[in-house]
Chains A and B, each alone.
Chain A
């Protein structure tokens, strides 16, 4: 199987940051807070780049949905070895309400437009922990899905996958095209080396709007309130 892989990369608040809820309880503080690529998305990028290095696929396209700053996340993917990027421009209120259903519609549309053979995503994002985008994307495209992947190997036009499930490890074989979501132990993402950061500057990022893809990003969910978990009380012995 040789072809194009779409990798979704999400810009999230960095894992090391202490999250604080906004005083008006509408969300968490994001202004001036350090953001980086979702760790599971890093693992997905790494897997895609490895497949390209093994010459099993020919092009890695990094996709991110969000405001202008999402381009930084795409650049990081480019520095890790992705070939080009697509930035789906979603900002303001639309971005605040962006969830797995809208993103999966966008990814499905892009997969058709780019004639992708494989979609690689992180299993979930560390900000909303939804764990839905991969599954929804596969359903919308009517493609097989291999979620929580800890091992991926391509065999002709099929994929052998090991999934980490509650009971242990599940071995499955799926057809392509397919959606795979990466779990923690799939690989160890490489650092963006300095030469690769320099090369990434020359790689192209194209910006599109959801409307261009025929996707309506209106949310069917409304966040009513966000609050911190109750303070831990002291125990008693």
Chain B
């Protein structure tokens, strides 16, 4: 079966690159049976293709696909129109175990791998990118921060809630600091055993429904970014005000709100990680979150494409299917290639991260490229659908509106490119 092929291939991969740790979760140390005897027809490859999934990953993907199609798809249009995520959808996301994918079962989570999260986000995005981003932020930002940095007490208090019923928000951006994240002005003043937070945040996703906020505030503005600290702020803390949600072009069902902090008292024990290390955590988490967004954009592009091609095969003009016109075929094939390339970049970045190898440049490439592909795909799909693509009766125009944020949030395209350039510069620095 495919799992043994993957296990065997990773054992072989980790030998020449002995310096790297193969942190691959599915690899077991038991001896691998000969695959050929089970599947004589199956080509046994030492290096399986990127689209090779363990049995559990395959099952998860199928389960999420079915769930998304039956429980989310019927509500997508209405959630977009009203700019409101349906409460039942949120509840079912938790029930399905999609909000605590990498959290240990000890804390009520699913106990699966990063790649499973990526597959889940991709499948959700095929149906609704807004739901996918909710799932992405929870899994790749909030949960990861708690799992990596939480004290036993913090984990005890929050991880269980995060896997079962509580959404988290990640608060970094401000009105005056987006790409220039470390210029943030929200400050936290120390008093005895607590801090008082003052300031405001902007563009905070999930804020409407979040029960906990991870707030990046500076404890010592004179120290610059080395004062940035991550604070856990519960929703009902006095002084925390969640502003009216933005009226957005796309991803409308995902709430995006400004936050105001007016003398918000936060106990010292609510610091996540170490004081002054917040900037490191933010960068670290965003490197991983990047791959999640790549998966979202990938799913968006694929979902849009999957809605469009059947139409081109049915629509007849000048006596033949519009799919059969060479001009159309070339465009469709070109877009399909771009989506495939985006998929491979995304999957590879995810596998690299899981294998414990360096992945930052690849993650940037995946996010940048997937967002561009989503933009291209959705734009072309509207054209291929003709007039109906332009109406809200068909889901295509929503994908077109949703894709634009991909080049902007969690690191703009320009930032991704500059980051990649820094790595390239270093690579040639012999």
8 A Cβ contacts from B89-120 to A: 95-98, 101, 105, 109-112, 116, 120
In angstroms, Cα B103 to Cα A195, docked, is 10
8 A Cβ contacts from A92-112 to B: none
Chain A 181-196, CB-CB to B under 8 Å as 1, else 0, gives 0000000000111111
- A75-B55, A79-B63, A201-B56 known; A194 and B112 CB under 8 Å? yes
Contacts of B98 in A (CB 8 A): 194
In angstroms, Cα B227 to Cα A22, docked, is 69
Q: Does A175 contact B (CB under 8 A)?
A: no
Closest residue of B by beta carbon distance from A194: B97
- A75-B59, A79-B63 known; A195 and B97 CB under 8 Å? yes
Q: Which of B60, B66, B101 has the most CB of A within 10 A?
A: B60
Q: How far is the CB of A94 from chain B (nearest CB, A)?
A: 17
In angstroms, Cα B1 to Cα A201, docked, is 14
Q: How far is the CB of A36 from chain B (nearest CB, A)?
A: 8
Q: Does B30 contact A (CB under 8 A)?
A: no
Q: Which of A36, A191, A193, A197 contacts B56 (CB 8 A)?
A: A197
Contacts of B39 in A (CB 8 A): 68
In angstroms, Cα B121 to Cα A2, docked, is 41
CB pair A195–B111 under 8 Å, yes or no, is: yes
CB pair A194–B38 under 8 Å, yes or no, is: no
CB pair A194–B105 under 8 Å, yes or no, is: no
Contacts of A196 in B (CB 8 A): 97
CB pair A198–B96 under 8 Å, yes or no, is: no
CB pair B67–A197 under 8 Å, yes or no, is: no
In angstroms, Cα B95 to Cα A200, docked, is 17
Q: Does A137 contact B (CB under 8 A)?
A: no
Q: How far is the CB of A71 from chain B (nearest CB, A)?
A: 8
Contacts of B109 in A (CB 8 A): 195
CB pair A194–B55 under 8 Å, yes or no, is: no
Q: Which of A72, A76, A191, A196 has the most CB of B within 10 A?
A: A191
Chain A 48-82, CB-CB to B under 8 Å as 1, else 0, gives 00000000000000000000100010011001000
Q: Which of A76, A192, A197 has the most CB of B within 10 A?
A: A197
CB pair B59–A79 under 8 Å, yes or no, is: yes
Q: How far is the CB of B310 from chain A (nearest CB, A)?
A: 12
Closest residue of B by beta carbon distance from A191: B67
Contacts of A75 in B (CB 8 A): 55, 59
CB pair A194–B110 under 8 Å, yes or no, is: yes
In angstroms, Cα B116 to Cα A194, docked, is 10
CB pair A198–B63 under 8 Å, yes or no, is: no
Contacts of A198 in B (CB 8 A): 56, 105, 110-112
Closest residue of A by beta carbon distance from B94: A193
In angstroms, Cα B38 to Cα A201, docked, is 19
In angstroms, Cα B63 to Cα A126, docked, is 20
Q: Which of B38, B62, B63 contacts A193 (CB 8 A)?
A: B63
Closest residue of A by beta carbon distance from B116: A194
CB pair A191–B63 under 8 Å, yes or no, is: yes
Contacts of B112 in A (CB 8 A): 194, 198
CB pair B38–A76 under 8 Å, yes or no, is: no
Contacts of A200 in B (CB 8 A): 59
CB pair B59–A191 under 8 Å, yes or no, is: no
Contacts of A72 in B (CB 8 A): 55, 59
- A68-B38, A191-B96 known; A197 and B105 CB under 8 Å? no
In angstroms, Cα B402 to Cα A175, docked, is 58
Contacts of A197 in B (CB 8 A): 56, 59-60, 63
Closest residue of B by beta carbon distance from A16: B69
CB pair A191–B66 under 8 Å, yes or no, is: yes
In angstroms, Cα B60 to Cα A198, docked, is 9
Closest residue of B by beta carbon distance from A71: B1
Closest residue of A by beta carbon distance from B59: A197
Closest residue of B by beta carbon distance from A36: B62
In angstroms, Cα B56 to Cα A19, docked, is 28
Contacts of B97 in A (CB 8 A): 193-196
Q: Which of B97, B109, B120 has the most CB of A within 10 A?
A: B97
In angstroms, Cα B101 to Cα A55, docked, is 29
Chain B 60-73, CB-CB to A under 8 Å as 1, else 0, gives 10111011000000
In angstroms, Cα B112 to Cα A72, docked, is 19
Q: Which of A68, A195, A200, A201 has the most CB of B within 10 A?
A: A195
In angstroms, Cα B39 to Cα A178, docked, is 38
CB pair B96–A193 under 8 Å, yes or no, is: yes
Contacts of B56 in A (CB 8 A): 197-198, 201
In angstroms, Cα B39 to Cα A159, docked, is 44
Contacts of B111 in A (CB 8 A): 195, 198
In angstroms, Cα B61 to Cα A36, docked, is 13
Closest residue of A by beta carbon distance from B71: A191
Closest residue of A by beta carbon distance from B39: A68
CB pair B60–A194 under 8 Å, yes or no, is: yes
Contacts of A191 in B (CB 8 A): 63, 66-67, 96
In angstroms, Cα B96 to Cα A195, docked, is 8
Q: How far is the CB of B312 from chain A (nearest CB, A)?
A: 17
Contacts of A201 in B (CB 8 A): 55-56
Contacts of A36 in B (CB 8 A): 62
Closest residue of B by beta carbon distance from A78: B59
In angstroms, Cα B110 to Cα A198, docked, is 7
Contacts of B110 in A (CB 8 A): 194-195, 198
Q: Which of B64, B66, B96, B101 has the most CB of A within 10 A?
A: B96
Q: How far is the CB of B88 from chain A (nearest CB, A)?
A: 14
Chain B 27-44, CB-CB to A under 8 Å as 1, else 0, gives 000000000001100000
Known: A68-B39, A194-B63, A194-B120. 10 other contacts (CB 8 A): A36-B62, A72-B55, A75-B59, A79-B59, A193-B97, A195-B97, A195-B105, A195-B111, A198-B105, A200-B59
3 tightest CB-CB pairs across the interface, nearest first? Answer: A194-B97, A195-B97, A194-B110
A-B contact pairs, 6 of them (CB 8 A): A68-B39, A75-B59, A76-B59, A194-B96, A194-B116, A198-B105
